Amino acid sequence: MADTNPIKQFEVHELVPFEAFGLNLAFTNSSFFMVLTTVLTIVLFSLAMSSRALVPNRSQSVAEIIYGFVADMLRSSAGAEGLRFFPFVFTLFIFILVANMLGMFPYFPAPGAHSFTVTSHLIVTVALAMLVWLTVIIYGVFKNGPKFLKLFVPSGVPIYILPFVTLIEVISFISRPISHSVRLFANMLAGHILLKVFAGFIVMLGAGLGAGGYLLGIFPFAMTLGLTALEFLVAFLQAYVFAVLTCIYLSDALHPGH
Amino acid sequence: MSRKDESQRDPSISDLDSLQQRIEARREKYRPKQDKAPASAWSLGMRYGSEFFGGVLVGGALGLVLDYFAGISPWGLMAGTMFGFAAGTLNVVRAAREIGSESQDE
């Protein structure tokens, strides 16, 4: 009977053991998929843009549409000034999108021979969210100086509740990277577990009931089919949501006075 | 696109402009009624949930830190959780306002 453990797909195992300064810095299948995501993005975009035609062909159109999509997103939530963050937001969006899409391969000719979704690990999404959060703080302080603290002091609040409101604003600000990262991580994790559980039902029915079980297996198979389509939507949607929230947070760094 | 004489710059620019207008018009025509991908209920709930959860978690953690350094256990945790609750609610209200304004634009 095939392995139907729905959690197994998230296992991280070492491919190239490496240790330095007492830390385990092995190259894992997670690192492999991150490198693959980056290389694939660079190669695909280079290929798509290689003709540099005024009238784009199909692949160049796709690249230009993605470019325009992210630029519009950034412009609408952070203003024209926000476009200086375009490379940052574009990189985040593409990295998450390609990593999510790579995770949708049911089988992958990779070490360990199973697909792996980088963004279904909290440590990866936390690293991305902290990157955004620290960028907001560092750039906000660098650009606005002490005026950046206005972010925590909303205008038009009576003085006697101002300390409480400020405290709540500070907590709300600190909680940003948590909600930012947990959302992406939980969506990917839950979606992939659900897929694997329903796919596992097919195998279990077949192994348990023989030929009749395989006939019954049509139902979980239909479910898996539908869920796969849904997961593609989620993979895109979560990359989009992550990028939109990044834009909104970056706009706070640019205009802290609300 | 036919290549025009290089010396006649103005006509070619107006050509480009009209081409741009035609492209926009066609885009408008084929634009789906609902531009944004339909936010599934699951992702919406996930969004509100994580916003609220983050607020309470950070508030409680700050309270615990205060307890540890000021030695006023359990009051820091209690007050921190309360403030975290308020911050979580604020987060949810903000998220709801964002989502509301997004759907109003359409």
Return the sign of the alpha-carbon dihedral for residues A204, A205, A210, A211. negative
Q: What is the pLDDT of residue A151?
A: 82
Pairwise CB contact (< 8 Å): A164 & B83: yes
For the residues B74-91, what does the mean pLDDT come to?
91
Counting one residue from chain A and one from chain B, the pairs whose CB atoms sit within 8 A come to 74
Note the pLDDT of residue A98: 93
- In chain B, residues with a C-beta closer than 8 Å to the C-beta of A176 are 54
* Assigned domain for B68 exists: yes
Name chain A contacts of B60, Cβ cutoff 8 Å: none
A114 touches chain B (CB under 8 A): no
- On the question of pLDDT at A223 being above 80, the answer is yes
Domain boundaries, chain A: 8-254
Q: Decide if A179 and B83 are in contact by the 8 Å CB cutoff.
A: no
Please give the pLDDT value at position A125.
93
Q: Cβ of B46 and A168 within 8 Å?
A: no
CA dihedral B75, B81, B82, B88 (to 10 degrees): 160
Closest CA to A241 of A37, A119, A73, A64: A73
Cβ of A179 under 8 Å from any chain B Cβ? yes
Q: How far is the C-alpha of B17 from the C-alpha of B13, rounded, in Å? A: 6
CA–CA gap between residue A119 and residue A95 (Å, rounded) = 10
Biggest distance spanned by C-alpha atoms of chain A: 75
Instruction: Give the pLDDT confidence score for residue A89 in this predicted structure.
Output: 93
DSSP string, A140-205: HHHHHGGGGGGGGS-TT--TTTHHHHHHHHHHHHHTHHHHHHHHHHHHHHHHHHHHHHHHHHHHHH
Classify residue A54 by its DSSP letter. S
On the question of pLDDT at A38 being above 60, the answer is: yes
> Average pLDDT for residues A139-155, to the nearest whole number?
84
- Is 50 exceeded by the pLDDT of residue B106? no
- Give every CB contact of residue A243 below 8 A, 6+ residues apart in sequence: A70, A73, A89, A92, A93, A96
Mean pLDDT of A230-234: 90
Does residue B78 form part of some domain?
yes
Q: Is A150 on the interface with B (CB under 8 A)?
A: no
Give ipTM to 2 decimals.
0.71
Average pLDDT estimate for A3-13: 78
Of A110 and A101, the structure prediction assigns the larger pLDDT to A101
One-letter amino acid of A175: S
Is B40 in contact with A179 (Cβ distance < 8 A)? Answer: no
Q: Say how far apart CA A3 and CA A228 lie, in whole Å.
A: 20
Per the omega criterion (within 30 degrees of 0), is the bond before A106 cis? no
Percent of chain A with pLDDT over 90: 25
Q: Does pLDDT of A130 surpass 90?
A: yes
Residue B72 Cα, gap to closest chain A Cα (Å): 19
Can you tell me the mean pLDDT for A148-171? 85
pLDDT-derived band of residue A1, with 50, 70 and 90 as boundaries? Answer: very low
CB atoms within 10 A of CB A183: 24
Helices A58-78 and A29-49, packing angle to 10 deg: 110
**B92/A contact by beta carbon, under 8 A:** no
Q: Which residues pair with A24 in a beta bridge?
A: A19
Task: Flag whether pLDDT at A53 surpasses 90.
Answer: no
Q: How far is Cα B101 from Cα B106, in angstroms, rounded to an integer?
A: 9
Q: What does pTM read for this prediction?
A: 0.81
Residue B20, chain A, CB below 8 Å: the answer is no
CA-CA distance, A246 to A74, in Å (whole number)? Answer: 9
Q: What pLDDT is stored for residue A110 in this prediction?
A: 66
Mean pLDDT, all residues of chain A: 86
Is the pLDDT higher at B10 or at B20? Answer: B20
A133 pLDDT higher than 90: yes
- Provide the pLDDT for residue A4: 73
Radius of gyration of chain A (CA): 22
User: If you measure CA to CA, which chain B residue comes closest to A169?
Assistant: B87
B38/B47 Cα distance (integer angstroms): 14
| B103: confidence class by pLDDT, cuts 50, 70, 90 | low
Domain limits for position B89: 37-105
Predicted confidence band of residue A212 (pLDDT cuts 50, 70, 90): confident
Q: Is B12 on the interface with A (CB under 8 A)?
A: no
Number of domains in chain B: 1
Q: How does pLDDT run across A247-257, given as a tens digit for each residue? A: 988 988 888 76
Q: To 5 degrees, how large is the angle CA A80–CA A85–CA A86?
A: 80
- pLDDT-based confidence at B33, cuts 50/70/90? low
pLDDT at B1: 46
